[in-house]
Every structure is written in C-alpha cells, then in structure tokens.
Structure 1
Amino acid sequence: MLIARPSALPLALLFVLALLLATTALASPAAQPAIKPKLLASIKPLQLIALDIAGDAAEVELLLAPNVSPHLYQLKPSDRQRLAHAELVIWVGPSMERFLAKPLSLLPSARVLTLLNESELDAEQDEDEHGHERNSSHSEHNHHGQDPHIWLSPAQAQHIAQQIAQRLSTLLPAQRPTFEQNLQSFTARLAALDAQLQQQFKALKAKPYMVLHDGYGHFEQHYGLRHAAVLSLSPDKKPGAKHLWALSEQLKQGSIACIFKEPQYQPALLRNLTQGLALKQQLLDPMAGHITLGAHGYSRFMADFGRRFISCVQ
C-alpha cells in the first residue's frame, strides 16, 4: 500500500498560492502605474499653455530651447527621435517653425496639432496696419498675411488652450472633466490679467518705440499699440541700405523713445545704429525663456511681458 508524503500536498498549495499572488501583483494598478502620454511643444510659450491644461495627466516636453530662434533653427537627429516618440506634437505652423514642416508631414494627423491652421484666428489685413509696405519677405515671414506669433494675444492663447484641451480629451477620455476644469481656470485667470493690462494700456500714452522684427502684431493689435520703427521685417532677412539710413536718421532725431531687444537676436546692426545715442532699451523675450515651469506659467509670462512693455514706453 502506497502512503502519500505529508509534505507533498502543502508544497503544491504553497506553489499555487505564490503563483496567484504574483499574478495579482502584476495585474494590480498600484504595481503598474499608468504611463502618462508625452506631449512635445515646439516652443516654450506653447509648453506653458499645455502644462496649465494637462496638469499632472501628461508630460509636456519642450523641443526648442527658448534662447534659440525658431526661424533659424536646424533640426537634429535627436529631435527627430523625440518627434517620433511623442503622442502629440504642438506647433504654430510652417510660418514659425519652418524646420518642422516636412518631419511633421510624415506623422499621422492625430499626432500633430497645427495651431495657425486649425485655430480660427483673425486674418491680418492685406495692408499692414503699422504702415509698412508688404513685400515678398514680409509675406513669407507672416504666413500670407498672418503674424505667426499668435501666443502674444490673450484671445488667441485662449483658443490655443481650447485646442489642446480637445486633443488631450481625445488621448485620455477619462480625464476630460479634469481638462475642462483646467481650461476654465486658465480662462478665468487669463481674463482677469487681460482686463488689468487693458486698463493699464488704455491709461498709457505710449511713446514711440522700435522693435527688432515685426513679430508683435497680435499683442499690439490687442492692446491698441503701434510701433514707430522696425529693424527688420523678419529675423532671417537683412534690412536694405535705404531702410537702415532712414532708421539711423530717425534715431538721431530723437523720435524713438524706446528700443525693444530680444535675447534670441544680437544684431550688430543695432549696436552700430545706437552707438553714441542715449536711448532707452528694454529686453523682451517672446519665447518666455526666463519664466520658470510650474503653475500658471502662461499668465506669469504675459504679466511680465506687459510690465516690461509698459516700463519702456511710458
């Protein structure tokens, strides 16, 4: 007669229990935290808006360092890898980030948010409202009459936030209420700041000012401003000798009270034009390079941008 070993049954049970525990642990949400989708913003102002809308639900990375001009940038192999691994790439459009036009055309449309084409933006008038003649270089820079620096208008930034919230809701349907709530908070915060800036600019008798390139149209139109001089219509186009001579005469006559500089551009032409002249100068950074990441990033950027603008033209 065969007699079963007393230890055989307990060992089998222990093996089965261990296997069940291991399977349960692997299937547990706590053991396998959900992977956040990865968003890639072409420039920092778009990253700031996306962070406000996404909150903790997604990772929002930046493609282009803020101290680099998107007009002049050349795409690197490592950049292409980041584009390929992003669930959503957010960019303005080919009139701003020309270097992205071809690589993004190879990605599925669901993974690309092109803001200048998809946003219902106010079309720029055929004639430049700042008194400049339209020429081929201006049209090339301004996307057939549209200024690509759309994030400098609070109204258009609001539309950008809406576009991002919609795409995030498609990526993460269960998080839609969170994105909608974040969008509402973004809207209320931006509306309060905009009302404050509107009052400040309305009470301001702005003195004539000069910009390095014609990239502030949306901000100027929104707040009723107008620059008196511009060094170049586009950062990648050198001004002609006739324009430089006229600008030099304008500066010598003292008709320009303030010059706005940008950290992305250090044109030697500006140093030559202003040498020996006591002119007020202010640094404006439309790429938000000095703004730290964190809560309310876009509102902090616009508040600082408006403050710097007012301090120079008042």
Structure 2
Amino acid sequence: MSFFRLFSLMTVLVAGASSARADVAVVTDIGPVHSLTAAVMEGVGAPVLMLPPGLSPHDHTLRPSGARVLESADVVIWSGEALAPWLGGVVDTLAEDAISVALLDRPETEQASSQGRGAAEADPDHEAHEDEHDHEQEHDHGAEHAWLDPVVGKAWLNVIAETLSEADPLNAIVYETNAAAAAAKLDTLIREVQEQLAPVRGRGFVVYHDAYAPFEARFDIPSAGAIVESEAAPPSAARIEAIQTRIAAGDVVCVFGEPQFESRLATLLAEEGNIRLGTLDPLGATLKPGPELYPMLLRNIANSLSECLTE
C-alpha cells in the first residue's frame, strides 16, 4: 500500500472517529419535530424535547427551565409560531446566537404539501369540499399540523439535515445519510398506508379538532367534519347540529376524540348516534419520544381510521 493511500485511509478513519459525537446542543419543540430530528442525529447525538408529551403546543407556557434550555442551544428546530406561539417571541432573544429554523415557515413545507396529492385535493367537486363546516377554512388551520402529511415529513428531514450540517459540518455526511434512510422508510409507510386505507375510503367520520387535513388530503380520505374548529374556542351550536344531522342521515360511522382533550363531546355524539368511537393522536402523546415516534404516529392514525371505519 502506497503512503498516499495509507494517509487517505487514516484521514477517513480519523474523520469517522470524530463524527461519533455531535458537539452541538439541539432543541426541538414538539414530539414529531423531535422525532424527525432524532432520526437525522441518530448515532451522533440526541435533541432535547421542550414540550412534554400529552400537552398541547397551542397554549403551553414557557417555564424557566425551558428558557435555560433555549439559552444553551446551538440549534433550535421548531414547528413555527402558528402552532407554538409560546416560542415565537423568545427564540430570537433567548437563543439569539443559535441557528433557528421554523419548519412550518419554510417554502419546502408548502411545496411538499402540494406534491402528488390525491383526488381529495385535485377534484373541486369532491365531497371534501362539500362539507357544511367551511372546509376551506379548516385546511388553513390544518396547515399548522403539516407533519401529518409524510411527504412534508420527508421534506423536513432534508431541512433538518441541512441545518445540522451547517452547525456541525464534521457530521454532515452522517446527517445526510440518516435523512435519506428515514425518508426511504417514509416512502414505504406511504405505500402501506395507501393500501391499508383503500377499503374504507368514502366512509364518513368526524374528528375532534381540525388538524388532520394534511393526512386526509395525502391519503384521499376526507373527514365529514370536526367537533371544534380550533382548540382555543368551544364548538358552536350550529356546528354540533350540523354534525348531528350528518350522523342521523347515516353519513358518519365513526367519531374520534383525542388524548390531549376531554372527549365528552365525542363520546356523547357517538352514543347519541349509535356509531363507533375512536381516538386519533396528532402529536404522539402516548408514544415514547425518539426517532420511531413520527412513523408510529402516522401508522397509529391509519390503524385507528381503518379499525373504526371497517364495517
């Protein structure tokens, strides 16, 4: 072996050894973002999750311990102010020297969300646009939960890898490789969920709150309505009456609650209409934080829909 080839080999080995541990402090806000970041960092480090599982990001309050975490951050990867307003005013002040990325605000998010969606978005006469509860407005709110579209999740993997590579160029190859591997797993998940939900498309269901439009559009399985339009406000009498009318007409076979919220209304609607009651979890509140939370969250939504809508 020539001296040059030996020197090149030693250089690679030294670089590989130095990539074993990332020398950056990475902070994330919600479980899905933490999961995608953890997948990209696998083998070299682990991000910090600021929002404890089971809590809503909409009305969370930053605690002193959270402020200290932000102050020590080198990188902040978060959803965005539309979903997590409690972070919106403090990231630039408490983590002023950190690289900060609000994923919902990135152009890649909108580009990915419109890429190759199903008939629910392509056909203006589809029942998804006939709902009495102003579906167009609900899609705007659903955009805050863009990660429920796994194509957006794939785009976020790339953004996260690029961001981490900027902060930690020594591990850039690791981040890029991990992101590609995680994206490949999501490709498989997308195909499997499409097949799983095919038999139950067209069967009506009601969700607790208007968060699932990205998932519904990606997999062409639109809901018949949402009990509440926003977590911040109780449902109107007109909204509940419209849902009751659809249930009475036989247009709805299942109503879903969520683990983060009191499910009394969902339970009452299901009992009153003699239809099934299920649970959908958009944040992975019951799952262990880590790289597997995000794909498991999507599979759980698909499983819940399939089970509740199967006759």
Question: TM-score under structure 2 normalisation?
Answer: 0.79
What is residue 35 of structure 2 aligned with on the other side?
48
**1:228 maps to 2:216:** no
**1:249 maps to 2:245:** yes
Calculate percent identity across the aligned residue pairs.
24
Is the helix fraction higher in 1 or 2? 2
**1:288 maps to 2:284:** yes
What is residue 71 of structure 1 aligned with on the other side?
58
What is residue 8 of structure 2 aligned with on the other side?
none
Residue 277 (structure 1) shift = 4.2
Residue 175 (structure 1) shift = 0.7
1:237 corresponds, among 219, 227, 233, to 233
Partners in 2 of 1:275 and 1:299 — Cα distance? 32
Partners in 1 of 2:22 and 2:225 — Cα distance? 50
What is residue 99 of structure 1 aligned with on the other side?
86
1:159 corresponds, among 149, 155, 162, to 155
What is residue 84 of structure 1 aligned with on the other side?
71
Tell me if structure 2 keeps the 8 A contact 1:119–1:159.
no
Q: Residue deviations 1:123-175, cap 9 Å, x none?
A: 789x984634279xx58x946xx611111111100011111101111111111
Partners in 2 of 1:35 and 1:188 — Cα distance? 24
Letter matched to residue 60 of structure 1? P
Tell me if structure 1 keeps the 8 A contact 2:23–2:168.
no
Partners in 2 of 1:278 and 1:52 — Cα distance? 42
Q: Residue deviations 1:75-126, cap 9 Å, x none?
A: 222221112122222211111111111112323375211001114233789x
Structure 1 gaps, min length 5: 1-29
Q: Residue deviations 1:208-267, cap 9 Å, x none?
A: 000011100110000001111211111111121222223233334443201111101115
Q: Which has the larger radius of gyration?
A: 1
Residue 185 (structure 1) shift = 0.7
Partners in 1 of 2:97 and 2:107 — Cα distance? 15
Question: TM-score under structure 1 normalisation?
Answer: 0.79
Tell me if structure 2 keeps the 8 A contact 1:95–1:142.
no
How many pairs does the alignment contain? 277
Residue 35 (structure 1) shift = 6.7
Partners in 1 of 2:163 and 2:92 — Cα distance? 18
Letter matched to residue 121 of structure 1? T
Structure-2 change in CA distance of 1:304 and 1:269 (3 Å): closer
CA RMSD of aligned residues (A): 2.7
Residue 47 (structure 1) shift = 0.9
Partners in 2 of 1:85 and 1:51 — Cα distance? 18
What is residue 13 of structure 1 aligned with on the other side?
none
Residue 203 (structure 1) shift = 4.1
Q: For 1:93-242, list aligned pairs within 5 A.
A: 93-106=80-93, 107-108=95-96, 110-122=98-110, 129=129, 131=131, 132-133=133-134, 138=137, 142=140, 147-242=143-238
Partners in 1 of 2:269 and 2:301 — Cα distance? 25
Tell me if structure 2 keeps the 8 A contact 1:50–1:161.
yes
Tell me if structure 2 keeps the 8 A contact 1:212–1:262.
yes
Partners in 1 of 2:206 and 2:56 — Cα distance? 19
Higher RCO (CA < 8 A, seq sep 6+): 2
**1:304 maps to 2:307:** no
